[in-house]
Structure 1
Amino acid sequence: MIAVLVVAAVGGVWAVRLERRHPSSFTRGGDLAWWGLLPAEEQEAHDLAVLDLAEQAELDAQADAEEAAQLAVERARVNALFHP
């Protein structure tokens, strides 16, 4: 039991030291540093543009799926006609 506690304590200290050297959480620097410099209006406009693009991509994917389903139905009809 004591060995488990010692191993857990050593592992905890090691994890904290590793996290301090290489933080995994979001920081203000890095790839998104430019985001914090934008005015709120520009952030909102950017967000809305990205959401519009995502919605359009979803609609396009749905249309592609419907087209694929219609093609599969047509192939099944042809197959049923010629291969009873």
Structure 2
Amino acid sequence: MPVLVWLVLALLVFALVGTAVSLWWERRHPSSYTEGREYRAGLWVPSLPQWRRMSTAEQAAYDAGVMDATADAQEAARVAVDALLERDVAAVKRNALFHP
């Protein structure tokens, strides 16, 4: 029985040390992007200090660009939904021909 107790204690100590080393390593070498999903998508999103350093004209231009990109994305989504609806309506009509 004492051997089992020592084995469990050794396993717990090993797990604690491994967790501490893993957390330390992750802080030193992050495995994920630190800039967020906008950075991964290729979009430049200014941080708050960068935004404050921008002139009002630059901020307005950035806002206009974001609004244009949003409108383009909404239009692309609408077109995709319309295409899916047309495909589904055609499938329902085809199914109604063979399964009245």
Using the size of structure 1 for normalisation, the TM-score is 0.62
* Pair 1:76 & 2:85 matched: no
CA distance in 2, matches of 1:74, 1:63: 17
* Deviation of 1:40 (Å): 0.6
Q: State, as a whole percentage, how many aligned pairs show the same letter.
A: 31
1:54 offset after TM fit, Å?
Answer: 0.3
- Structure 1 residue 33: Cα displacement: 1.2
Which residue in 2 is equivalent to 1:23?
none
Shift in Å at residue 49 of structure 1?
A: 0.2
| Equivalent residue number for residue 83 of structure 2 | 67
The Cα shift of 1:32 comes to 1.6
Instruction: Give how far 1:73 is off.
Output: 0.3
Residue identity in the other structure for 2:54? L
Distance 1:72 1:48 in 2: 36
Question: Does 2:68 correspond to 1:52?
Answer: yes
**TM-score after normalising by structure 2:** 0.52
Match of 1:42 in 2: 58
Higher helix residue share:
1
Query: Letter of the aligned partner of 1:42 in structure 2?
Result: E
Aligned pair count?
A: 54
Q: How far apart in 2 are the matches of 1:58 and 1:33?
A: 30
> Which structure's relative contact order is higher, taking Cα pairs within 8 Å and 6+ residues apart?
1
Q: Note the residue ranges of structure 1 that are not aligned, 5 or more in a row.
A: 1-30
